[in-house]
Amino acid sequence: MNAPHSVDVLIVKQERIGTLQVANPVITSPNIAFEIVKSYLGEPDREHFVILCLSTKNRVNGIHTVSIGSASSALVHPREVFKLAILNNASGIILAHNHPSGVTTPSEEDISTTKRLVEAGQLIGIEVLDHLIICEFEYCSLRENGLM
């Protein structure tokens, strides 16, 4: 006979840590998403991987940093991406990360990570609408470039 085992009982709660003023909270183009993410990130010296959580009408419900990496990479796991999306009641998400190098060309790892996240989103019913690679003045949309 097994001895009783204790299991933690938890409650998960979101807490607002600030607000970000955006000119247009409805995403109708990658450029609008770029402007919002750029405003949120600034110009960090390391890669930051963020998600925009969207309603069914593509209105931004939240923006979240998923991971902060080095000058040339940021580790991203589907569990962390979709945990934030689910907690934010997102119908869709836009992935974004910066390239401190100033080069917006996606790496093979960027493309494979995007495909993995698209597949994970399909399983749980949260669509990955785009993945933006962001530099100071420009961006690359993987969707517009046929890479997802």
3-class DSSP state of 29: coil
Pairwise pLDDT comparison (19 vs 106), residue with the higher score: 106
The position carrying tokens 């790892």 is 109
Please indicate, yes or no, if residue 12 is contained in any of the structural domains: no
How many CA atoms does the CB half-sphere of 143 hold within 13 Å? 15
Query: Which pLDDT score, from 0 to 100, does residue 143 have?
Result: 98
95, 81 Cβ separation under 8 angstroms: yes
Please indicate, yes or no, if residue 84 is contained in any of the structural domains: yes
Q: For residue range 3-43, list pLDDT tens digits in order.
A: 788 888 877 666 666 667 776 689 999 999 999 999 999 88
Identify each DSSP E strand in the chain by its residue range: 48-54, 60-68, 92-98, 127-134, 139-141
Query: Which pLDDT score, from 0 to 100, does residue 40 have?
Result: 93
Q: Give CA–CA dist 13/87, Å, rounded.
A: 9
Residue 74 has pLDDT above 90, yes or no: no
Pairwise pLDDT comparison (9 vs 101), residue with the higher score: 101
Please indicate, yes or no, if residue 127 is contained in any of the structural domains: yes
Is the pTM for the entire model greater than 0.95?
A: no
Residue range 79-94: mean pLDDT, rounded: 96
Please indicate, yes or no, if residue 4 is contained in any of the structural domains: no
In order of 2, 4, 10, 79, the CA distances from 7 in angstroms are: 15, 10, 10, 22
Please indicate, yes or no, if residue 80 is contained in any of the structural domains: yes
Question: What whole-number percentage of the chain has pLDDT above 90?
Answer: 75
Residue range 88-117: mean pLDDT, rounded: 96
**Can you give the CATH number for the domain in which 75 is found?**
3.40.140.10
Identify the domain containing residue 92 by its residue range.
30-141
For the chain, the domain total comes to 1
